[in-house]
Structure 1
Amino acid sequence: MLKKGMMAVALALLAAGAVAQKRQVMLDKVVAVVGGSSILYSEVDEYARQLTEQRRQEGYTSDRDPMNEALEALMTQKLLYNQAQIDSVQINQADIAAHVEEQVQQMVDTEGSIPLLEAKHHMAIFNIREMMRRRYEEQAYANSMQNEVTGKVSVIPGEVERFYKSISKDSLPTVADQYVYAQITKFPKSMTAAKQRTRERLLDMRERVITGKAKFENLARMYSQDPGTMMRGGEMDPSPLAGLDPSFAAALENMRPGQISEVVESQFGFHIIQLLDKRGQLYHFRHILLRPVYTTEELGETLNVLDSIADRIHRDSITFERAALLHSDDATSKMNGGIVSNHDILERFNAFDAKLTVTRFLKEDFAHFNALDDYNALSKLKPGEVSGAFLTQDILGNQLGKIVKLVEIIPTHTASLNEDYLRLEDMALADKKERIFKEWLGKKIDGMYVFITPEFRDGEFENKHWVK
Structure 2
Amino acid sequence: MVKKVFLLTVMLFAAAGLRAQKQQVMLDKVVAVVGSSSILYSEVDEYARNMVAQRLAEGYTTDRDPHNEALEALLTQKLLYNQALIDSVDISAADIQTRVEEQLQNMIDEEGSIPKLEAKHHMPIFNLREILRQRYEEQAYASSMQAEVVNKVSIIPGEVERYYKHIDKDSLPLIADQYVYAQITRFPRTMTEAKQRTRERLLDLRERVITGQAKFENLARMYSQDPGTAMRGGEMEPTPLASLDQAFADALAELKPGQISEVVETQYGFHIIQSLEKRGNIYRFRHILLRPVYTTDELSTELNFLDSLVTEIRRDSITFEQAALRYSDDASSKMNGGIVSNHDVLERFNAFDAKLTVTKFLKEDFGRYKSLDDYNALSRLHVGEISDAYLTEDMMGNQMAKVVKLVQIIPTHVASLNEDYLRLEEMALTAKQEKAFREWLTKKIDGMYVYIDPEFRGGAFENKHWVK
- Tell me whether the two structures share a fold, i.e. TM-score over 0.5: yes
When normalised by structure 2's length, the TM-score is 0.96
Matched residues in 2 for 1:110 and 1:291: separation? Answer: 34
Matched residues in 2 for 1:149 and 1:273: separation? Answer: 34
Aligned twin of 2:452: 452
Aligned twin of 2:294: 294
Matched residues in 1 for 2:180 and 2:26: separation? Answer: 59
Matched residues in 1 for 2:200 and 2:193: separation? Answer: 11
Amino acid at match of 1:324: A
List aligned pairs for 1:138-287, cutoff 5 A: 138-287=138-287
Change (3 A) 1:369 1:120: same
Amino acid at match of 1:74: L
Matched residues in 1 for 2:10 and 2:76: separation? Answer: 13
Poorly superposed stretches of 4+, deviation over 4 Å: 1-4
Alignment check: 8 A CA contact 1:13 1:43 kept:
no
Matched residues in 2 for 1:279 and 1:84: separation? Answer: 22
Matched residues in 2 for 1:89 and 1:453: separation? Answer: 30
Matched residues in 2 for 1:263 and 1:86: separation? Answer: 42
Matched residues in 2 for 1:93 and 1:123: separation? Answer: 24
Which deviates more, 202-211 or 63-72? Answer: 202-211
Deviations 1:280-324 (A, max 9, x none): 222211111110111111110010111111111111111111111
Which deviates more, 43-52 or 127-136? Answer: 127-136
Matched residues in 2 for 1:13 and 1:39: separation? Answer: 16
2:359 aligned with 1:377: no
Describe the SS at the equivalent of 2:10: helix
Describe the SS at the equivalent of 2:91: coil
Alignment check: 8 A CA contact 1:258 1:275 kept:
yes
Aligned twin of 1:437: 437
Q: CA deviation at 1:137?
A: 1.3
Q: CA deviation at 1:260?
A: 1.5
List aligned pairs for 1:95-110, cutoff 5 A: 95-110=95-110
Matched residues in 2 for 1:111 and 1:336: separation? Answer: 56
Deviations 1:156-204 (A, max 9, x none): 1111111112222221111111111110000001111111111111111
Alignment check: 8 A CA contact 1:264 1:272 kept:
yes
Matched residues in 2 for 1:394 and 1:2: separation? Answer: 26
Aligned twin of 1:128: 128
Matched residues in 1 for 2:138 and 2:231: separation? Answer: 22
Amino acid at match of 1:183: Q
Matched residues in 1 for 2:327 and 2:399: separation? Answer: 17
When normalised by structure 1's length, the TM-score is 0.96
Which deviates more, 175-184 or 22-31? Answer: 22-31
Matched residues in 2 for 1:78 and 1:352: separation? Answer: 38
Matched residues in 2 for 1:376 and 1:348: separation? Answer: 23
Aligned twin of 1:349: 349
Matched residues in 2 for 1:84 and 1:238: separation? Answer: 18
Percent same amino acid at aligned positions? 74
- Indicate the RMSD between aligned Cα atoms, in angstroms: 1.4
Q: CA deviation at 1:2?
A: 7.3
Unaligned runs of 5+ in 1: none
Deviations 1:355-384 (A, max 9, x none): 111111111110111310000000000000
Which deviates more, 285-294 or 159-168? Answer: 159-168
Matched residues in 2 for 1:449 and 1:253: separation? Answer: 46
2:9 aligned with 1:7: yes
Which deviates more, 270-279 or 420-429? Answer: 270-279
Alignment check: 8 A CA contact 1:252 1:273 kept:
yes
Describe the SS at the equivalent of 1:7: coil
Describe the SS at the equivalent of 1:272: strand
Aligned twin of 1:75: 75
Amino acid at match of 1:378: L
Q: How many residues align?
A: 465
Aligned twin of 1:117: 117
Q: CA deviation at 1:44?
A: 0.4
Matched residues in 2 for 1:412 and 1:334: separation? Answer: 29
Aligned twin of 2:363: 363
Deviations 1:434-456 (A, max 9, x none): 01111111121112221111221
Matched residues in 1 for 2:103 and 2:352: separation? Answer: 38
Deviations 1:391-440 (A, max 9, x none): 00000000000000001111111111111100010000000010111111
Amino acid at match of 1:238: P
Deviations 1:13-70 (A, max 9, x none): 4121221122222223011111111100000000001110111111111110110000
Matched residues in 2 for 1:193 and 1:460: separation? Answer: 66
